[in-house]
A and B are shown apart, each in its own frame.
Chain A
Amino acid sequence: MNSKTLWHIALWGLIILISLPLLRILSAWFEPSSAIWQHLSDTLLWDMITNTLWLLLGVGIGVTLLGVSLAWFVTMCEFPGRKILEWMLFLPFAIPAYVLGFVYLGLFDFPGPVQTYLRELFGWSGLDIRDGKLSIMIVMSLVLYPYVYMLARNAFYSQNNTLVESARLLGMSGFGIFWRISVPMARPAIAAGVMLALMETLADFGTVAIFNYSTLTSGIFSVWENFRSLQAAAQLSTLLLGIAVLLIFIERWSRGRARYDSNKRMTLRPYKLKGHQAWLVTSLVGSVVLFAFILPVLQLLFWSLASLNLEWDARYLDWISNSFVLAVGAALLTVGLAVIVNSVRQQTHLSWPLKTGIRFANLGYALPGSVLAVGIMLLIIDIGEFVSPGQGIWLSSGIFALLLAYMVRFLAVAYGPVESSFDSITPSMTEAARSLGANTSRLVSHVYFPLLKPGLVVAGFMVAVDVMKELPATYLLRPYGWDTLAIRVYELSSEGLYERAAIPSLMLLGLGLLGLYMVHRINKRYKIRAK
């Protein structure tokens, strides 16, 4: 057996491992529950679908506008505070959407300080910000834009200075360059970022619950809870899966065959803004940082101080270390998986079943965590019973189930950055190295690895932060004593105890920021060596 066949077998194994929970959910259609469907289509179903589509549209527009424009400003322009703002724009990534949701509601809802102040000052009649769609679109765009920003910024950086310079010499305006050169070249990265943000939107449960906005995901939970029918819930989640497939299809189609290789990195910013213009950009970029990060953190700090004595105890050390271990374990596994899949993809022309399999395995991200968790639970119990009847339960009560859930759910997160870093390896590099006499191990360690490393680190970091924020699957599958910070946030906030929930929220944020800082250090070191 040659190594190529081995890689293929490994790939098939992984695809099957990941697909089985999805298939277990799809198999729900063999047990139809028509009475529930009748009731749903009479009452809630259409609202759920249209609300979901509206949310996708709104968040899609929001994250694209924010992510792309911010990334372009920080890579192409020089303006006061650029250096600080450039990395501060990453920070909202560490805030779970449900946390920003309850912070914003606390601040801006009718009884909150902002509206109270306005009422007292101007006798303003007030506003129900939970009514309609706009508030939730804004909140979700503010936490999800970093997906687009991160990938678009990398793409803009790797675009060649000379290209922009030539365009300027040929008389193209700044906006023209943005619209006709930068954006089209960064399109695959932008599309990948928007995809991730939309998948996250599709699977979100916490934020929509806080705003009482009924979507397919919240519908899955209520159908499960109200009609006690896991079947109907699983069937409803296949509808969600359908939307996810459609999204992926649109992304692939919009990306087309676009592929741009460049080994140069932007070193100089083409636009040195001055005066009013510069300060305008500073305040625009700064206000995003203010609303997406500084304001919520201040509010959380304020709440935390008010409830510190009541809430803090030694168990937080356990919760922190549990969150951390799960995040690191899942990040290693998931990135490893993405590497295996991509090495096979890189080596050979894939057969269509394999291609479809890879795409199918990437769908887990759109599945609500709890539905996925139930699929995995049922599956693992099936397998356990098959392997050793009566003993299989240890599988479901261990950390294994949880890690499998994270792998299925977050492969897509790791896959994007790993895929694009694999794409940065051009055939000519391999040929050059080979012609200079490099053997395979040398090729891997001296050519591939340095090129892949930034992508792998980014992927690992994104998965780790996502895992720490993840709620429903962790809630359902964690073994005894494996409580995490996210669980604590949920338990407190679901009782309406937002002040106390601020403490674990801040810690979650702190861990996320720590991860972000480590990535920053690694990237910096890598860049120095590259010079």
Chain B
Amino acid sequence: MKKIIAAILASSSLLMMGCSQDQETDQAQADNAKVVVYSARAEHLIKPLFDEFTKQTGIEVQFQTGKANALVERLKAESSNTPADILMTTDVGNLWYAADQGLFQPMNSEIIERNIPVHLRDPEQLWTGLSVRARTLVYHQDRVSADQVVSYEDLADPKWQGRLCLRTSNSVYNKSLVASLIEHHGEEKTTQIITGWVNNLAAKPQSKDSHVMDAILAGQCDIGLVNTYYYGRLQAENPDTPLRLGWANQTTTGTHINVSGAGLLKHANNTENALKLIEWLSEKPAQQIFGALNREYPANPNVTVDPQVESWGVFKQDEINLKRLGELQQAATMLINRVNYE
């Protein structure tokens, strides 16, 4: 038995040594021309961009994906020892939180200021949005007429009783949406609205936006809320889909938007390369890919929108500074828990 144990120990330590040696040589070679990204944006939505960046600049992009809160926790723990230069996330609440925890440094980049509208950026340039995600109404054209589709607030009206499908409140997109309602209406009115939503639900909240649309298609409900790119995927697969997007709150506050974005880390080792990457991502060619990869809206308004996305029409955006949504997110979560929106 001792032999086995010795063999186990020897092989496992060899394994570990092998791995760490590989890493060291890799590091020595690539130290001069690299940038390290922690990303909460899924791998298949960023890798093509990074590959393109490497092709154009010769700067290698190393990245690791993870859930936003875990990456932030990891960055806090790693502190000044972090190998990372950039944090990318998919919700402004996460960007705001990372900034709030002091993880970012100001980018002071004229390029970014020129490319990205002011309401999609942190006032101190600690982070910037890189793509815009609109969260709006989706409905079945046979069972709902276009003029009935009005606003987030209207979904609380009893006329939608048993006809509404929503994604779970665990979704960060819904928390940000509720945060925007709090900003516009205050907590009391928002509580009434969300209670109304819960009362109108036709089924237990779905775990994905795509499931909300599946449920509407199957006749379980008639109307729901989705991020537009999920609708885009459905439409690409089935161009004849009877589902339609309806732009919310066009006569009032505008449709709720969120961003995926990035910030330059305070303890970055490759500051120059990192800034170069973020700036490059805000420029036209990258913005074109960024939007097309996931059918999102480019954050840079000078970029032409993907034809499919363009076919959904122009809409008025809710232009409250996104930073505010981050600040209100915890209040939104507590409100959601209190009204028992699962």
Chain A residues, Cβ within 8 Å of B82: 393
Chain A residues, Cβ within 8 Å of B220: 110-111, 126, 128
Q: Main secondary structure on chain B at its contact with chain A?
A: helix
- Partner among A39, A378, A491 whose Cβ is within 8 Å of the Cβ of B337: A39
Q: Which residue of A lies closest to B205 (CB)?
A: A212
Q: How far is the CA of A290 from the CA of B81 in the complex (A)?
A: 52
Are A212 and B337 neighbours in the complex by a CB distance under 8 Å? no
Are B70 and A476 neighbours in the complex by a CB distance under 8 Å? yes
What's the least CB distance linking A378 to chain B, in Å?
A: 6
- Partner among B1, B12, B66, B210 whose Cβ is within 8 Å of the Cβ of A496: B210
- Partner among B1, B77, B175, B230 whose Cβ is within 8 Å of the Cβ of A339: B1
Are B16 and A403 neighbours in the complex by a CB distance under 8 Å? yes
Binds A, one of B2-10, B133-141, B251-259, B298-306: B2-10
Binds A, one of B103-111, B143-151, B211-219, B273-281: B211-219
Assess whether B19 is interfacial by the CB under 8 Å rule.
yes
Chain B residues, Cβ within 8 Å of A224: 69
Assess whether B209 is interfacial by the CB under 8 Å rule.
yes
Q: How far is the CA of A110 from the CA of B70 in the complex (A)?
A: 34
Are B23 and A479 neighbours in the complex by a CB distance under 8 Å? yes
Binds B, one of A79-87, A274-282, A394-402: A394-402
Binds B, one of A52-60, A260-268, A329-337, A520-528: A329-337
Are B5 and A336 neighbours in the complex by a CB distance under 8 Å? yes
Are A394 and B204 neighbours in the complex by a CB distance under 8 Å? no
Assess whether B189 is interfacial by the CB under 8 Å rule.
no
Q: Main secondary structure on chain A at its contact with chain B?
A: helix
- Partner among A110, A332, A444, A475 whose Cβ is within 8 Å of the Cβ of B8: A332
Assess whether B192 is interfacial by the CB under 8 Å rule.
no
Q: Of residues 316 to 336 in B, which have CB atoms within 8 Å of A's CB atoms?
A: 329-330, 333-334
Chain A residues, Cβ within 8 Å of B334: 39, 43
- Partner among A225, A230, A370, A480 whose Cβ is within 8 Å of the Cβ of B62: A480
Are B218 and A111 neighbours in the complex by a CB distance under 8 Å? yes
Assess whether A392 is interfacial by the CB under 8 Å rule.
yes
Q: Of residues 167 to 212 in A, which have CB atoms within 8 Å of B's CB atoms?
A: 209-212
Chain B residues, Cβ within 8 Å of A119: 219
Are B203 and A116 neighbours in the complex by a CB distance under 8 Å? no
Are B20 and A394 neighbours in the complex by a CB distance under 8 Å? yes
Are A110 and B218 neighbours in the complex by a CB distance under 8 Å? yes
Q: How far is the CA of A230 from the CA of B101 in the complex (A)?
A: 14
Assess whether B342 is interfacial by the CB under 8 Å rule.
yes
- Partner among A218, A336, A403 whose Cβ is within 8 Å of the Cβ of B9: A336
Chain B residues, Cβ within 8 Å of A336: 4-5, 8-9, 12
Assess whether A44 is interfacial by the CB under 8 Å rule.
yes
Assess whether B28 is interfacial by the CB under 8 Å rule.
no
Assess whether A2 is interfacial by the CB under 8 Å rule.
no
Task: Answer whether A343 and B1 are a contact pair too, CB < 8 Å, given A329-B15, A403-B16, A480-B64.
Answer: yes
Give how many B residues have a beta carbon under 8 Å from the other chain's beta carbons. 61
Q: How far is the CA of A222 from the CA of B171 in the complex (A)?
A: 10
Assess whether B97 is interfacial by the CB under 8 Å rule.
yes
Q: Mark B109-121, 1 if CB is under 8 A from A, else 0.
A: 0000000000000
Chain B residues, Cβ within 8 Å of A398: 16, 19-20, 23
Assess whether A434 is interfacial by the CB under 8 Å rule.
no
Q: How far is the CA of A335 from the CA of B70 in the complex (A)?
A: 30
Q: How far is the CA of A448 from the CA of B2 in the complex (A)?
A: 12
Q: How far is the CA of A73 from the CA of B213 in the complex (A)?
A: 45
Q: Of residues 208 to 241 in A, which have CB atoms within 8 Å of B's CB atoms?
A: 209-212, 214, 218, 222, 224-228, 230
Q: Of residues 213 to 233 in B, which have CB atoms within 8 Å of A's CB atoms?
A: 214-215, 217-220, 230
Are A131 and B203 neighbours in the complex by a CB distance under 8 Å? yes
Chain A residues, Cβ within 8 Å of B210: 496
Q: How far is the CA of A452 from the CA of B4 in the complex (A)?
A: 12
Interfacial residues, chain B to chain A (CB-CB below 8 A): 1-5, 8-9, 11-12, 15-16, 19-20, 23, 42-44, 62-67, 69-70, 73-74, 77-78, 81-83, 97, 168, 170, 172, 175, 203-211, 214-215, 217-220, 230, 329-330, 333-334, 337-338, 340, 342
Task: Identify 25 residue pairs between A and B in the complex whose beta-carbon atoms are under 8 Å apart, listed by A's number.
Answer: A39-B337, A43-B334, A43-B337, A43-B340, A110-B203, A110-B215, A115-B218, A119-B219, A130-B204, A211-B207, A212-B206, A214-B342, A228-B97, A325-B15, A336-B9, A392-B81, A396-B78, A398-B20, A403-B12, A403-B16, A452-B1, A476-B70, A492-B42, A496-B208, A496-B211
Counting from the closest, the 10 A-B pairs by CB-CB distance are A111-B218, A496-B208, A496-B210, A111-B214, A393-B81, A336-B8, A43-B337, A226-B333, A128-B203, A444-B1
Given contacts A130-B204, A399-B19, 15 further A-B contacts (CB under 8 A): A39-B334, A43-B337, A119-B219, A218-B170, A222-B170, A339-B5, A390-B81, A394-B20, A397-B83, A398-B20, A476-B67, A480-B62, A480-B63, A487-B65, A496-B208
